Structure 1
Amino acid sequence: MRESPSILSLRAVLGGGVAAMALIAAGAVQAQTAADSQARQNEARTVDDIIVTASPIVGSQRAALVQQRNADNLINVIASDTVGQFPDQNSAAALARLPAVAVQRDQGQERYLQVRGGPNRWTSVSVDGVNIVGVDEGGVSRAFRFDAVPAVILSSLEVNKSLTPDLPGEAILARVNLRTFSPFDRKGFHVQGDLGYGEMNLGGGPQEQAALRASWSNDRFGIMAAASHYEREQLTDNREFTYNPTTGLPEAFDIRSYRVTRSSEAAMLGLALRPADGHELFFKSLYSNFNDDEERNQYVLELADAASGAVGERSGDLVGVPVTGAFNYGEYRNSNWINTLGGDHEFAAWDVSWRINYTETENTTWLPMMRQMWVDPRTAPSISYDRSDANLPIITLYDTVAGAGGLTRGAARDALRQDNPNVSLMIPITSAVETDSWVYKLDGTRTFHWGGRTVELSMGAAHDSREVQGAAIATTSVLMLPSLLPRVGMTFTPGKYVTDKPWDTGFPLGFRINWVDNGAMRGDIDAILQALGGAGLYSREGLTAPNARYAIKEDLTAAYASAKFEAGPAQLVAGLRVERLSQDIGGFVPGTSGFTAVNASQDDTSLFPSINVKFDLKDDLVLRLAAQTGIARPSFAVVRTSATIDDTGRRVTAGNPYLEPERTWGGDASLEWYLPGSGLASVSGFYRNVDNVLFDSSTRVSGDLFDAPGLDRTGYEYVTTLNGGEGKLYGVEFAYMQQFVFLPGVWDGFGFQGNLSLLSGDFKSPDGRTVDFPGVSDTIANASIFYEKHGLSARLSYQWRSKWIDTLTFEGFGDQMRDGYENLDLSVRYAINDNVSIYFDANNLTDETYVAYEGDRRHPTEVEQVGRRYLAGVRFRF
């Protein structure tokens, strides 16, 4: 297949980028020679003496490089001030600037991390060093949702790509640590914040941002408080398609428009006390939430149920095509309340730290969906379509005319008929997952001399106790309004919600659709539900069937010991971590006489040896080698002892309590060259062998297991999670960043930051295939060109990742794929004085279209676009 112009241009950009990096590297070698000559006239240089200018990017990155240079393991770090130089709203977007870090987006907004191309469950998360387990809608993933944590409350972001024994073993590819601000970070009284306002290009919705942080400290006591708010109102263009699994011909065109208001708030309080020299106590409380209010307008042209006509791959003509409309004003909520009490103490022989953490997370969905159907072929439209562009078919509408010979196509129409459906029903969709977690953590370090060597011994123990109450997303109740409303003396008139405002869309379609007022409809739906509830015909508490609910209790106890010492030119950190997990799972399964409680439990003890070796070849040249083991445990809803049934969507989603955790062993190697201008050039490689690979499986129900009286569910999609066989994942990462301080005059303000990751891997599926890992892009690239001088800071940033498998499919004509995409962002800052600066951010300048497809690009399943966004504002610091 011929590549699109955007991909061709990308190849050219990457090719040119490689050549440019080669030239830059050659220039850097010459510059390093000159710098070394200068250094011989001064004291010996260490990493702390990296040349620094007053520029925000370079100045803030210096501390991050020092931390990375001195770390015992392979780690990448972003300082908070560096984050401020990117147009990134949440921590996931900021972390995506690091080597081999990609993000998963939802309607264009960054949500989950994928490090080194692996699935998000292979990356664990901690806040201030304390393990945090995330939940998403329905609890199907343990992945932490980064869209609930704004970047403005963080002091640094760390990605540990190799593990030391003090880090939890539940990290196959990386462990991300989000460090929040401490009152002792700056002495005295300080205030900083920002205000910003902008626009979403698609739909013209507003974008706003505000943050404020204040702190005060002296030598003994400190206090800080912070708050942030971000909100944007966007339109999302969306097209989805389904196909006949045998012929591959289209069965339905799903046309959607979303009006989404997304907001995130965070508030933090921190207290710190130094009662005596060498002793520090602190308490931090962080609350963050993410709110998603979604209005959906959706129309599905049911090609497979047309009265007559022909369906082709590139074009078709059909008579009497049923239409299904769906409308909702849904509410998605995610919150995290993280509280940590801790202390760090220096005793005569030991340095001791302790932490007690309580974390509460909640994820809820409330989606009262109104579904309307035009099923009478005499009122349904006739259509013809042109799929020259499979992603965006052009559809022509016609009237349907009844004659003596049957139904025929009538005159062309320029708009979809949106009033007087034949059937109206309401489907309340709901789910809720809540977790309560306590973490107790104690670490100690002692330095002593043994055998002529200085040895640093570290020991520690931790206990995590989690309780999860959850309900998978399910549509277990359908309210047939025509039969119910007369019983409460109410009516529902679909046509009154249709406005005279056409959809604001950038996708070609072929006919006009007017926006349906979901807000007004939701108000009437609430009144209907209240009336039905009062009459005993509806109960929100009864919406979730017992077989959708689950309860899980986990206890994870860990202990470790490690030693750090020098052996010749190398520094070694080697040790062992032991973890024991006890898990109890409770749920219900439907039966002929009601629901039956089903419980499962499992206990697992795992050993995680690791070794990290660091060679200081020169003051500015470091070689690292590492070997480790790790684990990824299945998520909560994935191991539930039940199955949910969606008769509307014809889908059965089942848990699998017998899943084995994924286990891995592997190694890392990296070479890091620290350059003038707070620069770094590095190359690293990794290999992971993974057993019991988890993957989502989609097949069809073939027996009568899920049938109900009068309801045959044969042919429903059956979705569950399975263990595959052994797999491997490996790759190489190149990174380079530097401000060109060796250039003359104004040119020394230019700099470059970029990285390129080449990844590969596969595993054995139960049907004997060797398939790629879901979620793995074989190429991830980031490149930023920046200029900083005389108060001006400007950065143009480019990101690209290649296609990847989303879900493996064992029938039909191919796996569910996500196509590659690119993003181009611009950020400009200007410092008016030492305290005040103004900024302008422009995101998604390429106006990217995100595409999913089945098997090949001739069968797109989802096409989505969110448009560009712009934000301008002011930052202040006193």
Structure 2
Amino acid sequence: MSSIQFRIALAAALFLTAAAPGFAQQSGTIVGIVYDAATGNPLPQIKVEISGPATFNATTDTDGSYLIEVPAGTYKVSYTSPRFLATAVDGLEVTAGEIADATTVMAASGEVTTVDVVESVLPQVATQEAMLVERKLAETVSDSISGAEIKAGTASDAAGALEKVTGVSVVNDRFVFVRGLSERYSATTLNNAMLATTEPERRVVPLDLFPANLIDNIKVLKTYTPDLPGEFSAGLVQIETTEFPTKPTLSISYSTGFNTQTQGSNFLSYPGGGRDFFGYDDGTRSLPGSLPRDTRIDRSNFSSSELQSFGQALSDNWEMRPKQNFWRPSQTWNIVAGNSYGKLGLVGAVTFSNNPRSIFNQDRIFYQPNPLVATGELQPDQAPPLAKNIFKYNQSTESSRIGAAFNASYRINEKHKVTVKNFLSHDTDNETRFYEGFHQDFGTDVRDTRLRFIERQILSTQVEGEHLFPSWGNSIFSWQYAYSKATRDEPDLRESLYLLNDVTGKYEYFDDSQSAFRMFNNLDEGIHNPKVDYMLPFYGSNWSGSLKVGANVSFRDRDFRSRRLRFALRGRTNIDPTLPANELFGADNIRPNGFEINETTRITDAYTGTRDIYGYYGMLDFNVAQKWRFIGGLRIEDVNQDVTTFDPFNPELNRQPAPFNKVNYLPSINVTHFLTPKQNLRFAFSKTVARPDFRELALFDFLDIVGGRQTIGNPKLVQTEIQNYDVRWEYFPGGNQLIAASFFFKDFNKPIEQTIRATVGLLTTFDNATAARNYGVELEFRRGLDFIGPKLRQFSVSSNFTFVDSNIDLSEVQNIVLTNLIRPMQGQSRYVGNFIAEWARPEWRSTARFYTNYFSRRISDVGVLGLPDVYQEGVTTLDFVYELNLREDGKWKMRMNAQNLTNALWDWTQGGLTFQRYTMGRTFSVGTSFQIF
């Protein structure tokens, strides 16, 4: 972070904590949230009486919470309400300058509930317990991970954190697969608002864009209720950002680390801009101002001299320049500050990270079908494929991330509250890639260099309100207006290809359509998301519940533009093809009888899309005799979507619209049977949908650079309709302990799958399969080991395991050349598991944890023309964290992380043969955090 940015962040932090010096150090704070034991809803208007060294009174507000500053001492906190039986939290110890949590539940019938506070726990344990209480009372089958748990681990972003959640696996370090289903069947919200996406190929929010330091908690809802968006089946990922502090807070942290394959080795790079370290291009990669924006650059529109001038205006920057013996470490900065000023609460956080990473000696082998398969003499599984192209890849990437959150809340009174939340994430990958090896089509060895710079940014801002109306039966009206904008800028992707001349033994430039290539891609997507909800609680002698109705509307728009240029070889006069690319494409060689700039942008290289969804729902939450809870209702979604592909230079010509309109009726029911006060048995059924995305409908086509397949959308796609069935048993022994088992089954009608057709070449597109099935079992266990013996009281374990099976039927899809028409769903691992072992010694102020993650083999690419499917083989990773409190009050900590201790092999195979293989090295880091207030 630059000195100016750091000074701005520090000034904001000092402003937020300006009231800290006046904080009474002889007093502490009691906070709490009161929940309905039957429905799990927070209870407003509950009378709170605090008795001890002094007496205080309060009333819970719209979200069931309260906060009172009291002198240090031991207190009893009593809760009363005309509709609920009295509840008390007894023996609550309040320490000067600290926070004591008196969160509890209230029952509408039964005996008085008393909660005895027996001991204090570590902060991360307390937040784990709070998340388990919320899960126990939740409406749906769900899993969660608290911010404290995330920060206690090795994850740097939401994607890494979710790997620890039951039934979740992460693909490509950013996309979430829940219960074996691809990102198509999941959705993501931020602070309960929908998000735009930076991905041009799919409508999914990449979760590596959310820094761990800005996250308060993440929930994964696995069953559906009508107040949620109807377009998910696997899971709805709900990310909540930094919460408001209950006292003045200012904390700073820093960490630095190295990777055994990166530091101390050569780092592939190239000359860039002055702000690359922070992830921003300073204009170095922009199209020169002299190049026309609205006219194709070719001989039909410009003279030879003009083309020469345009070509020479482009920067002469083609070659990688390795940094020898590279030692710059990765580093992460983070600052969080917050305070309350009477009715106003403020919290802000800023994080910055820069992480260089290299992968060397990556094997990549492309195959062709065995001739015996083509003749029908053998089946694909009886004859191994034959190697066609054999490459060795080396790649270095410098990843930079800046994240910020700023939230403000104003409590007008205990009945009305307004909140503003803002979030920004800017993530950049600056990549240099080089590969060489034998290419059968050329009959010789090739060398290819690619320089790529991708900036991704998400901005989310929202304002929301909660309003309690006691005279209307304590009903609550809530509203939210959110706006999210996502951008993806990929300026000046450069690629050059050289072939080995077997006679001279030298590599020479190859004049191919994808060589001497420069591409500029830009995506902008915005989404407006207003919604309103009204909830009316009701109570009887032996029953209680609530009626909830609302509307949720989203207006999404997207604009994608791609521009392609290349230097065509018009003549070889005084051209030495063996020269390095920077010299070969120098100004002297850009001329009419040498290299000439030429526009290769396609007439389908731009598209715009709009998607408007009008959602309305009604649902009933009903509890009978504290034994059964029924939550059911209906959601109606009216979808109007249109995507139009067009020529970027003639937007009104060659327009190819692909409209999609549908009205969906989506019912659901969730039933919870309270077997005992500590055990739940849940049942759920729902109907949801998965709709085709802009990219899947648009006729825009994209060809992967060198050796890839052309991809094009299919405007004839229809939506997928899904029936979901769930059963879960869960047992909460107490504290942060849990035992749970789940079974799920999903039935898909016309699922959308990526397919491959045989045209002039192989064409990747999208089709509706006939049907698919997905079913599995989830097991979860968290427990301290003190039940084995007192000597093990310092140890605890947490584990989860998921078994998933699926099949998809593509046998009725026409004109495709897939080898296996009935197979598991792409990206699905049959087994996914996590195991966490923790040792905590409070008297030593030390905690140590081992994290083990495993997923089994999964299809990464489907086979064609007799070639087997490509499988990513199973991977087990092992991480370690040690944390030491350097002060007794826990305000100064030191952490040591070790990731990928086994240096796991990432291996893809095709027909049992190596398709791709590499290791990522071990990563070690050390960091410190200091809480000033």
TM-score (norm 2): 0.74
User: Are 1:842 and 2:898 matched, yes or no?
Assistant: yes
Question: Could you tell me how far apart the structure 1 residues matched to 2:851 and 2:261 are?
Answer: 21
Query: Structure 1 residue 304: deviation in Å?
Result: 5.3
Asked if residue 822 in structure 1 is aligned to residue 876 in structure 2, the reply is yes
| Larger helix percent | 1
CA contact (8 A) 1:52 1:58 kept: no
- Alignment-derived partner of residue 426 in structure 2: 289
Amino acid of the structure 2 residue aligned with 1:762: N
Structure 1 residue 437 displacement after superposition: 0.8
Specify the alignment match of 2:555 in structure 1.
465
Instruction: Return closer, same or farther for 1:847/1:564 CA change in 2, 3 Å cut-off.
Output: same
Question: C-alpha deviations, 1:104-150, integer Å up to 9, x for none?
Answer: 12xxxx211101111111110000111224242xx211121111111
- Give the aligned partner of residue 321 of structure 2: none
Write the mapping of 1:368-517 to structure 2, written as runs, cut at 5 A: 368-380=493-505, 421=509, 425-449=515-539, 453-471=543-561, 476-480=564-568, 483=571
Task: Please tell me whether the aligned partners of residues 253 and 930 of structure 2 are also in contact (alpha carbons under 8 angstroms).
Answer: yes
| Structure 1 unaligned regions, length at least 5 | 1-40, 307-321, 381-416, 498-520, 702-713
**Alpha-carbon contact 1:200-1:234 (below 8 Å) kept:** yes
Distance 2:184 2:227 in 1: 20
Task: Provide closer, same or farther for how the CA distance between residues 525 and 173 of structure 1 changes in structure 2, counting only shifts above 3 A.
Answer: farther
Cα 1:57–1:738 shift into 2, 3 Å? farther
Cα distance in 2 for residues equivalent to 1:749 and 1:632: 46
Change (3 A) 1:564 1:590: closer
Over 3 Å counting, the alpha-carbon distance change for 1:115 and 1:46 in structure 2 is farther
Residue 188 of structure 1 is matched in structure 2 by: 247
Provide the C-alpha distance between the structure 2 equivalents of 1:440 and 1:287, rounded to a whole number of angstroms: 20
Aligned residue for 1:62, secondary structure, equals helix
Whole-angstrom CA distance in 1 between matches of 2:426 and 2:560: 18
* Equivalent residue, structure 1, for 2:338: 215
Deviations 1:487-546 (A, max 9, x none): xxxx8886668xxxxxxxxxxxxxxxxxxxxxxx5xx8998699889x99548xx66433
- Secondary structure of the residue aligned to 1:660 is coil
Aligned residue in 2 for 1:157: 218
Q: Distance in 1 between matches of 2:235 and 2:539?
A: 33
1:367 Cα offset (Å) = 5.0
User: What is the distance in 1 between the residues matched to 2:860 and 2:799?
Assistant: 27
Decide which moves more: 567-576 or 424-433: 424-433
What is the identity, as a one-letter code, of the residue corresponding to 1:556?
A: I
- Mapped contact 2:196–2:484 kept (Cα < 8 A): no
| Cα deviation code 1:149-193 (max 9, x no counterpart) | 11110111100011111110111111010001233xx22310123
**Does 1:587 find its partner at 2:645?**
yes
Q: Secondary structure at the match of 2:654?
A: strand
- 1:518 maps to what in 2? none
Asked whether the 8 Å contact 1:134–1:144 carries over to 2, the reply is yes
The answer to whether the Cα contact below 8 Å between 2:674 and 2:680 also exists between their aligned partners in 1 is yes
Identity across matched positions, percent: 19
CA–CA distance in structure 2, aligned partners of residues 590 and 429 of structure 1: 14
Cα displacement string for residues 558-578 of structure 1 (whole angstroms, at most 9, x for unaligned residues): 000001112352011111111
Distance of 1:525 and 1:444 partners within structure 2: 68
C-alpha contact 2:331 2:355 (8 A) present in aligned 1 = yes
Matches within 5 A, 1:43-122: 54-105=121-172, 110-122=173-185
CA distance in 2, matches of 1:527, 1:439: 50
Q: Which moved more, 1:424-433 or 1:111-120?
A: 424-433
Q: Give the secondary structure class of the aligned counterpart of 2:174.
A: strand
Aligned partner (choices 779, 782, 807) of residue 762 of structure 1 = 807
Given that 2:770 and 2:812 are in contact with CA atoms closer than 8 Å, whether structure 1 keeps it comes out as no
The 8 Å contact of residues 569 and 596 in structure 2, kept in 1 or not, is answered as no
1:358 equivalent in structure 2? 483
SS at match of 1:658: coil
Contact 1:697 1:807 in 2 (8 A): no
Residue in 2 aligned with 1:700? 758
SS of equivalent residue, structure 2 residue 126? helix
- The residue identity in structure 1 corresponding to 2:414 is D
Q: Which has the higher contact order (CA 8 A, sep 6+)?
A: 1
Matched position secondary structure for 2:197:
coil
2:456·2:488 contact (CA, 8 Å) conserved in 1?
Answer: yes
Cα separation, 2, equivalents of 1:559 and 1:595: 38
Is 1:612 aligned with 2:670? yes
Equivalence map 1:716-755=2 (5 Å): 716-742=761-787, 747-755=792-800
* Post-superposition CA distance 1:694-748 (Å, at most 9, x none): 11112321xxxxxxxxxxxx2x221111110111101000000122344655521
CA apart distance, 1:659: 0.9
Partners of 1:477 and 1:699 in 2: CA distance: 28
Q: CA deviation at 1:547?
A: 0.7
The CA distance in 2 between the partners of 1:743 and 1:817, in whole Å, is 41
User: Could you tell me which of 908, 911, 916 is aligned with 1:862?
Assistant: 916
Give 1:275's aligned residue: 412
Distance in structure 1 (CA, Å) of the matches to 2:536 and 2:175: 38
Give the conservation status (yes or no) of the 8 Å contact 1:200–1:232: no
Counterpart of 2:334 in structure 1: which amino acid?
Answer: A
- The aligned counterpart of 1:679 is 737
Q: In the alignment, residue 912 of structure 2 is paired with which amino acid?
A: R
d(CA) in 1 for partners of 2:648, 2:895: 58
8 Å Cα contact 2:477-2:535 kept in structure 1 = yes
SS in 1 for 2:225: coil
SS at match of 1:546: coil
- 1:485 and 1:339 mapped to 2: Cα distance? 58
CA distance in 2, matches of 1:144, 1:47: 44
Match of 1:571 in 2: 629
The size of the alignment, in residue pairs, is 729
Whole-Å separation in 1 of the counterparts to 2:712 and 2:653 = 15
Q: Deviations over 1:329-382 (max 9, x none)?
A: 2101211000111111111322011111111001232353332322533135xx
CA distance 1:766–1:744, shift in 2 (3 Å)? closer
Q: Is the 8 A contact 2:643 2:659 kept in 1?
A: yes
- 2:455 maps to 1:333: yes
The one-letter code matched in structure 2 to 1:465 is F
Once residues 622 and 586 of structure 2 are traced to their aligned partners in structure 1, the CA distance between those partners, rounded to angstroms, is: 70
Distance 1:771 1:49 in 2: 55
User: How much does 1:467 deviate?
Assistant: 0.7
Structure 2, unaligned runs of 5 or more: 1-89, 92-109, 264-326, 372-384, 814-820
- The Cα shift of 1:246 comes to 3.7
Deviation readout 1:779-826 (Å, 9 max, x if unpaired): 001001111122111110111111111233342221232211111111
2:466 matched residue in structure 1? 344
Whether the aligned pair in 2 keeps the contact of 1:158 and 1:178 (CA below 8 Å) is yes
Q: Identify the residue that residue 832 of structure 1 maps to in structure 2.
A: 886
SS at match of 2:604: helix
Whole-Å separation in 2 of the counterparts to 1:675 and 1:182 = 28
8 Å CA contact 2:577, 2:584 repeated in 1: no
Question: Which secondary structure state, in structure 2, belongs to the residue aligned with residue 478 of structure 1?
Answer: strand
C-alpha contact (below 8 Å) 1:242/1:251 kept by paired residues:
yes
C-alpha distance in 1, partners of 2:696/2:767?
10
Q: Pick the aligned partner of 1:241 from 365, 368, 382.
A: 365
Q: Decide which of 237, 249, 253 is 1:176's aligned counterpart.
A: 237
In structure 1, the partner of 2:52 is none
- Provide the alpha-carbon RMSD of the alignment: 3.1
Distance (whole Å) between structure 1 residues aligned to residue 699 and residue 155 of structure 2: 40
Separation in 2, partners of 1:451, 1:525: 87
Contact 1:165 1:562 in 2 (8 A): yes
Deviation at 1:303, TM superposition (A): 4.0
Q: How much has 1:49 moved relative to structure 2? A: 6.9
Query: Letter of the aligned partner of 2:901 in structure 1?
Result: L
Deviation at 1:245, TM superposition (A): 2.4
